[in-house]
Amino acid sequence: MQITVTVNGTEHVREVEPRLLLVHLLRDELGLTGTHWGCDTSNCGACVVWMDGTPVKSCTVLAAMASGRHVRTVEGLEGHAGLDQVQRSFIRCHGLQCGFCTPGMLMTARWLLDHNPDPSETEIREAIAGQTCRCTGYENIVRSIRHAARAEKSRDGAA
Amino acid sequence: MQVPAHFEYQRATSVDHAIALLTRYGAEARVVAGGHSLIPMMKLRLAQPEMLIDINDLHELGGIRVEGGELRIGAMARHSELLGSAVAGEHYPMLHDAERVIADPVVRNRGTIGGSVCQADPSEDLSGAFTALRATAVIRGAEGVRSVPMRAFFTGPYQTVVGPAEILAELRIPVRPGGGSAYVKVDRRAGDWAVAAAAAALWLEPGPGPGTITDVGLGLTAVGAAGFTAVAAEEFLRGRPATEETFAEAGRIAAEHCRPVADQRGPADYKRHLAGELTVRTLRRAAARARARGQEA
Ligand SMILES: Cc1cc2nc3c(=O)[nH]c(=O)nc-3n(C[C@H](O)[C@H](O)[C@H](O)COP(=O)(O)OP(=O)(O)OC[C@H]3O[C@@H](n4cnc5c(N)ncnc54)[C@H](O)[C@@H]3O)c2cc1C
Ligand code: FES
Ligand code: FES
């Protein structure tokens, strides 16, 4: 079947099998390997992308279900001004070790800060509850997201 | 790599269209809502529909509102919408208690209320909650609309009264003053399915003491309770004072009437213990909420 999916602002038309999962469309058909594919059972969150502005686990969404919708992946975080603040904060605060969980963590973190610019540590932990870091670096992930919140606040304050 | 078997895909443009497609393709067709139960089952070949009908565009199945003295929850409302709904939380805080412990925030962005109850997994949290609340399921088919009480909705594990060419459209819960409700779940880790869980909705006749229970609804999840509830415990509670002694006896009756099975989440006697204990805890919390509301009024 033919699908039309807008990914990071670019429209893609593809002929796909209805059983193709969104995560594989992104990685194998569109070459966007930033989105990771881990457990395949909607538990680990490595595959989190936004669909129409909402984080979803792309291993449990059919590519066909994304047709006509807007998808944002980790490749779409970077803007004209360079890396997104959450990316810079993950670097700064050592929010990753092997980096496998990082794309999903970044997508959820960006969404959280867009909706709650000053989240408490508890709110951050709740937001990433569906995401597993096998390196168990949760402390630094939480610290990175707090850092991004503070950085954006002081920047907005300065503007 | 887990990939479903081959199937065809169509997107429904209206509920009537979805029903027409279901009618045309018969037993080989299934609707997909959030897909967070169905797609994993298709990956494992536990479900193998040949035609998948996507109902995600059907905004007529969405929304959460109070209308006609009822809280109405559209089948396509996502878990995250129910958790975020102030009106749902105001009338039935139990629904927020339950949503807070269903899966994780990203799964809740996708999974739907209708999909949850149609899945009818014995561990589904909302099945217990809606049973306690005596919700009514509004079901649409080629012949029109029918309403089925939640207590007649489940016909067995993974089975409901929704026919192969029918769509669950909405859940309705009567809004009644003077009540309180709560949901308590024990899980092995955050976001996991329940080892056991209990729901209680309770209405009190305010008195000088703890108040008298005028009506009550109980729900039990994952403990093999017939129809997700404990009717004998409900009968015991009605007309009795809302005291610790009353709750303890209700918990004992609820535990006695469930039929838990041992699995990786725990042994049967532990689950039975939880059924009793969690019944007591939800009743206690529901009563406290009912009293707090009585004082506001
Ligand atoms: C990682 C994970 C953890 C989870 N943890 C929990 C938990 O702790 N507690 C809990 O209760 N649930 C849990 N769930 C289940 C989740 O709540 C349900 O999977 C989900 O809400 C089902 O809804 P859905 O919209 O995804 O349904 P789908 O998967 O789309 O559909 C499920 C079934 O219902 C049918 N169906 C769907 N909508 C309708 C309709 N309107 N009319 C007729 N038939 C319909 C479908 O044909 C299918 O048979 C978890 C799921 C995942 C993936
Ligand atoms: S790969 Fe999707 S949640 Fe793990
Ligand atoms: S950094 Fe290795 S899994 Fe999270």
pTM of the model as a whole: 0.96
Closest residue by CA, ligand 2 atom 3: A42
**Residues A71, A89: one domain?**
no
Residue B27 region by backbone torsions, left for phi larger than 0, else alpha for psi between -120 and 50, else beta? alpha
**Residues A89, A71: one domain?**
no
Whether the per-residue pLDDT at B297 is higher than 70: the answer is no
Helix ranges restricted to H, A7-120: 22-24, 85-92, 102-115
Summary mean pLDDT of chain B: 96
pLDDT, average across residues A14-23: 98
Interface test with B, best of A59, A62, A112, A131 (most B CBs within 10 A): A62
Domain of residue A42: give its range: 2-76
Neighbours of B49 (CB within 10 A): 21
Q: Is residue A27 less than 8 Å (CB to CB) from chain B?
A: no
Report how many domains make up chain A: 2
**Residues A124, A63: one domain?**
no
**How much is the pLDDT for B248?**
98
**Residues A104, A152: one domain?**
yes
Question: How far apart, in whole angstroms, are the C-alpha atoms of residue B31 and residue B51?
Answer: 8
**Residues A112, A69: one domain?**
no
Q: A38 C-alpha vs ligand 2 centroid, how far in Å?
A: 5
**Residues A63, A93: one domain?**
no
Determine contact, residues B202/B239, Cβ cutoff 8 Å. Answer: no
Question: How far apart, in whole angstroms, are the C-alpha atoms of residue A102 and residue A90?
Answer: 9
Q: Which of A76, A99, A115 is the last residue of a domain?
A: A76
**Residues A65, A90: one domain?**
no
CB contact under 8 A, B6 and A17: yes
Neighbours of A12 (CB within 10 A): 15
**Residues A111, A136: one domain?**
yes
**Residues A25, A67: one domain?**
yes
pLDDT, average across residues A147-159: 86
pLDDT, average across residues A97-106: 98
Q: How distant is the alpha carbon of residue B193 from its chain centre?
A: 13
CB contact under 8 A, A21 and B105: no
Q: Which of A46, A76, A106 is the last residue of a domain?
A: A76
Whether the per-residue pLDDT at A159 is higher than 80: the answer is no
Alpha carbon distances (Å) from B292 to A60, B47, B245:
42, 46, 21
Residues within 8 A of A (CB atoms), B 171-190 only: 190
Q: Grade residue B103 by pLDDT with cuts at 50, 70 and 90.
A: very high
**Residues A68, A7: one domain?**
yes
Q: B97 C-alpha vs ligand 2 centroid, how far in Å?
A: 26
ipTM of model: 0.96
**Residues A151, A119: one domain?**
yes
Chain A positions in Cβ-Cβ contact with residue B6 (cut-off 8 Å): 17-19
CB contact under 8 A, B104 and A65: no
Q: Is residue B110 less than 8 Å (CB to CB) from chain A?
A: yes
Question: How far apart, in whole angstroms, are the C-alpha atoms of residue B57 and residue B219?
Answer: 32
Question: How far apart, in whole angstroms, are the C-alpha atoms of residue B117 and residue B291?
Answer: 30
* CATH code: domain of residue A45: 3.10.20.30
Higher pLDDT, A81 or B88: B88
Residue B176 region by backbone torsions, left for phi larger than 0, else alpha for psi between -120 and 50, else beta? beta
Domains assigned to chain B: 8-54 (3.30.43.10), 61-174 (3.30.465.10), 179-296 (3.30.390.50)
Nearest to B52 among A18, A41, A127 (CB): A18
Higher pLDDT, B1 or B279: B279
Q: Which two tokens stand for residue B199?
A: 């729901």
pLDDT, average across residues B149-158: 96
pLDDT, one tens digit per residue, over A26-70 is: 999 999 999 999 999 999 999 999 999 999 999 999 999 999 999
**Residues A64, A124: one domain?**
no
**How much is the pLDDT for A21?**
98
For the Cβ of B32 lying below 6 angstroms from any atom of ligand 1, the answer is yes
* CATH code: domain of residue A107: 1.10.150.120
Q: How far is A55 from chain B (nearest CA, A)?
A: 6
Q: Grade residue B295 by pLDDT with cuts at 50, 70 and 90.
A: confident
Question: How far apart, in whole angstroms, are the C-alpha atoms of residue B122 and residue A105?
Answer: 32
Question: How far apart, in whole angstroms, are the C-alpha atoms of residue B70 and residue B205?
Answer: 22
**How much is the pLDDT for A47?**
98
Residues within 8 A of A (CB atoms), B 206-265 only: none
**How much is the pLDDT for B206?**
80
B277-290: b (≥16 Cβ within 10 Å) or e: bbbbbbbbbbbebb
Q: Which ligand is nearest to the CA of A47?
A: 2
Whether the per-residue pLDDT at B1 is higher than 90: the answer is no
DSSP output for A22-41: HHHIIIIIS--TTS----SS
Whether the per-residue pLDDT at B241 is higher than 60: the answer is yes
Q: Which of A56, A76, A96 is the last residue of a domain?
A: A76
Q: Grade residue B2 by pLDDT with cuts at 50, 70 and 90.
A: confident
